[in-house]
Structure 1
Amino acid sequence: MTRLRTALLSSLLLAAALPAPALFAQPGEAAAPAAASFDARAGQIVGLLTGRVPFADSFALSFQAAVPEAQFRAIAANLIAQYGQPIAVDSTASDNGRSGTVRLRFERGIATVRLDIGPPPEARITGLQFTGFTVSDDTMERVTAGIAALPGRSGFLVAEIDGAAIRPIASADPDRQFATGSTFKLYVLDELAAAIAAGERRWRDVVPLSHLSFSSAATGNWPPDTPVTLQTLANWMISVSDNGAADTLIHLLGRERIEARMRAAGHSAPSRNIPFLTTVEAFALKGDNFADLRAPFIAGNDAQQRRILDANRHRFTLAQVDGVSFGGEPRFIDDLEWFASPMDVARVLVDLKARRSDAAMAAMAINNGVGPAAAADWSWLGYKGGSELGVLSMSLLGRRKIDGKWFVVTASWNNDKADLDGAKLVGLVTRLLALAAKDGVTPSAPPPAP
């Protein structure tokens, strides 16, 4: 469960977490060599993906440390499986000769690639990031078939949102419950926004960072009780799926109130998430240190499970969680997780939108989940993802540029036997989003109320 965080699926296909190079072109004669170096490296991308250009000679050591060659080859193979062989660079654009955009043509689509290089004369690649794909002659039926072919269990929903109405356009198993990882944080955000709308709290309220957790991109190793605002916690929880921020908010708001909010938002099987676990509680129950409590917790009803949590509230802390046991294969994803159907996710997104909270919507839009190229057809795009071993989920709420209509695109993929290839789901969801952005998609009849 070391990956219980957002699948920062905006540009996950290939991205090294490295500092950006300086964005200043040298004056005079230095500008031309820099531009030539950028175009030369762009021209090598096809060969790098197909293995004809040596990996070690092309990438900076910092990139190689972040993305080893074996990982690069695996990602390249996945891209080729989805989009066919890379054929040629159609165009490049760079203002400074060090960073820019490359349009790369594959057999079945065109990729938008962010390319960063180091200074001449070596000008090695420091960043290579696939930020979006346009698939030739794509259809909902083709994407549906791609999602159905994923190993394990999967489901999705593309729907137009009109007020409280959810009007499906395409779907597969939209009412089936899936483990969704950190997508549960939408319910925490919904309750926080509701409490603020009721005047019980304010976004600028300062509270202590009271509960630290694993996989906390923002609060990892922070001192306990560091003062932070509620808006900061919400931003961290949604944009980088910070687990410490989420657990602090769950304890602050109260799990029972979040459970009530989940019911009010229309979750079709709320008992699957009652009691509403913190991330540390989920880590603890999945790990080996509390193996004696796992079976009775899974077998218990809601009340019995709540008693186990209450009786062990002082033991279920970050310091007591066995992090060593999380690795290699999925752990209890059918029993110890947060669950929702694609339609449930659509309902909570509708509930959040109806709250008319600028701060809550802004938190969702910090990381749009798919990168700038895929977001270009949307005037507003919010996102929440979730992942752990064997679990991936992506959910977007967007306002379409061409007509101002609102849409939900959500998909979940579970496999209790093996970890998942995140790039596959990224590509499929990005294609769903692109299809939803086209004028003329026709919703079907609205589903019955839950």
Structure 2
Amino acid sequence: MRPSLMRRRLTPDNIWCPAHQKRRECMKRWMLLLALAAVQSPPLYAQTPAKAVATPAKPMDLRIEQLPAVLAGSLAYDEFFAPSFLAVVPATQLKLLSDQFIAQHGKPLKVISVEPQGPNSATIKIEYEKAIATAQISVEPSAPNKVVGLLITGFDMKGDSPAKIDAAFAELPGKAGYLVEKIGADGRRTQIAGRATGQQFAIASTFKLYVLAELASQVQAGRRSWSDVVPILANSHSSSATVNWPRTTPVTLQTLATWMISVSDNASTDALMRVLGRDAVERKLATIGHSDPDKALPMLNTVEAFALKSNAELRTRFQKANEAEQRNILDKEAASLGFDKVDLVNLGSGPVAIDSIEWFASPSDIANLLGNIRQTGSQTALDVMAVNKGVAPASANKWQYLGYKGGSEPGVISMSFLAQSKAGDWYVITGSWNDTTKEVQNDAFAALMARLLDSVAG
């Protein structure tokens, strides 16, 4: 399990990054909120009871009182943040992110609670017009005691409800669906909430959970071990964990699985599909159950999908073909479906064939998949899913266990959770949003899924 933020110093290496964002994009975004300067804040101490915000009696209190004005843009950044902070996070970037928060949550109003974490650090709650933000703040230990660290860890919507969340899904352009189910002691699932639960959606990298499920099954059957070592060999677009690694680098299956799920490394995914066998992963999909296997099969590896989207002639042939013909194309045209044939410019220009060349599942299909992974009884698989929890700490910490996998590409975002409550109850929470005409708003959907997750956690 991930150590509590209360017990470690915040650094760029341990910033939460949602799996729908690549590490570089995520770091760029979060560095707008977090800058720990050369003068580091002291270690965070054990949490003490919250105290009411009082008239400033010391520099730390003053900075906390000033924060809403800073977030609203009515107090100059250089009066509040240390120069070392602004050297990393320029004022223009701070304003951009603050404006995004205001657009989504309304104006910041006031700090409503403070939990000191030592003489120069605190966890605070900031009231916005529509939400309550949780943040961590650190100030310089000496005059002028300006802020050297700030991290907003999440938002809780005011007066949120399942009905409001459902209405927000209904308002998304294109098509969207979600499902919340509680898993009983006997493994049976009961729907709590949902929309378009049987509709097929492009799910992008969420399909990698099928690969994880098959790996866990092969380990359980004694055919493989998590510690088995294989070469990567594969090369694919957006493989942040293995970029520039020699393709002959030996790594364990558990390492490949961890990269595949936690940072959505595509080369790791294709390596596992090679080792496990495409046919084995497809049989696993059938065993788990899928409501539209004709749409889901054949299951492409990532470089095949990227190359097909990049080649208009092959793409058209593939779209018109039946399953057997599609398999023949994958076999006969393998030379045209390599990493060197991927057109990165084309892939980033907007939705490309997301209704035909993709990985597909309904919310109910994904619930079956998550339930199967849990039933396998593989603690390693659960640990792999919990490396990146997909939501900010304020939401993740409401759960005893939280496993996650998501995926996105232009026009597609999908987020799925396997969660255990503090009371010990298990849930599956999954949602997808597709738009064939334009890119979807990943951050807005992630915020909506966090609301859905919070509504179940209570």
Cα gap change, 1:36/1:153 in structure 2, threshold over 3 Å: closer, same or farther? farther
The corresponding residue for 2:10 is none
**2:276 is matched by which residue type in structure 1?**
L
Q: Which amino acid aligns with 1:61?
A: A
CA distance 1:23–1:206, shift in 2 (3 Å): farther
1:390 aligned residue: 411
Which residue, out of 413, 416, 426, partners 2:436? 416
1:198 paired to 2:216: no
* C-alpha distance 208-338 of structure 1, shift in aligned 2 (>3 A): same
Deviations 1:158-194 (A, max 9, x none): 1111243221111111111111111000000000001
Q: Would the aligned equivalents of 2:41 and 2:139 in 1 still touch at CA under 8 Å?
A: no
Maintained 8 Å contact 2:162/2:455: yes
The equivalent of 1:317 in structure 2 is: 338
Q: Structure 1 CA distance, aligned partners of 2:146 and 2:61?
A: 12
For the 8 Å contact 2:35–2:150, the answer to whether it is kept is no
Distance in 1 between residues matched to 2:240 and 2:312, nearest whole Å: 27
Query: 5 Å matches for 1:39-118?
Result: 42-54=64-76, 58=81, 60-64=86-90, 69=92, 75-93=97-115, 95=117, 100-115=122-137
How far the C-alpha of 1:51 sits from its partner, in A, is: 3.0
State the distance in 2 between where 1:200 and 1:293 align.
Answer: 36
Q: Does the C-alpha gap of structure 1 residues 12 and 166 become closer, same or farther in structure 2, counting only changes over 3 Å?
A: farther
Unpaired stretches in structure 2, ≥5 consecutive residues: 1-17, 45-56
State the distance in 1 between where 2:332 and 2:207 align.
24
Distance 1:38 1:243, change over 3 A: farther
What amino acid is aligned across from residue 205 of structure 2 in structure 1?
Answer: S
CA distance in 1, matches of 2:159, 2:375: 35
What's the CA shift string for 1:336-376, capped at 9, x where partnerless?
Answer: 21111111111100000000001100000111111221123
C-alpha separation between the residues in 2 aligned to 1:218 and 1:39?
A: 41
For the pair 1:352 / 2:378, whether they are aligned, the reply is: no
**Aligned mates of 1:134, 1:355 — CA distance in 2:** 34
Higher alpha-carbon deviation: 156-165 or 48-57 = 48-57
Q: Could you tell me whether the CA contact under 8 Å between 2:41 and 2:140 is conserved in 1?
A: no
Residue 319 of structure 2 corresponds to which residue in structure 1? 298
Alpha-carbon distance between aligned partners in 1 of 2:402 and 2:287, rounded to the nearest angstrom: 24
Q: 1:23 to 1:265 in 2, by over 3 A?
A: farther
Matching residue of 1:436: 456
Greater relative contact order (Cα 8 A, min sep 6): structure 1 or 2?
A: 1
1:332-411 counterparts in 2 under 5 A?
332-402=353-423, 404-411=424-431
CA distance in 2, matches of 1:117, 1:210: 48
How big is the shift at 1:410? 0.9
Would you say the 8 A contact 2:110–2:126 is kept in 1? yes
Q: CA deviation at 1:271?
A: 2.1
Is the CA contact (8 Å cut-off) linking 1:60 and 1:125 kept in structure 2? no
1:133-212 correspondence to structure 2 within 5 Å: 133-162=155-184, 163-212=186-235
For residue 111 of structure 1, report the CA deviation from its aligned partner: 1.1
Measure the CA separation in 2 of the matches of 1:56 and 1:328. Answer: 38
Please give the TM-score of this superposition, normalised by the length of structure 2.
Answer: 0.83
| Corresponding residue SS for 1:60 | helix
Unmatched 5+ residue regions in structure 1? 27-34, 439-450
- SS of the equivalent of 1:221 reads coil
Q: 1:94 to 1:305 in 2, by over 3 A?
A: farther
Worse-matched range after superposition: 76-85 or 331-340: 76-85
Tell me, in whole angstroms, the C-alpha distance in 2 between the residues paired with 1:126 and 1:38.
Answer: 12
Residues 293/378 of structure 1: CA separation in 2 closer, same or farther (3 Å cut): same
Shift of 1:8: 4.5
CA distances 1:179-217 after superposition (whole Å, capped 9, x unpaired): 111100000000000111111110000100110212122
Q: TM-score, normalised by structure 1?
A: 0.84
CA contact (8 A) 1:178 1:414 kept: yes
SS at match of 1:337: coil
Distance 1:235 1:120, change over 3 A: farther
SS in structure 1 at match of 2:419 = strand
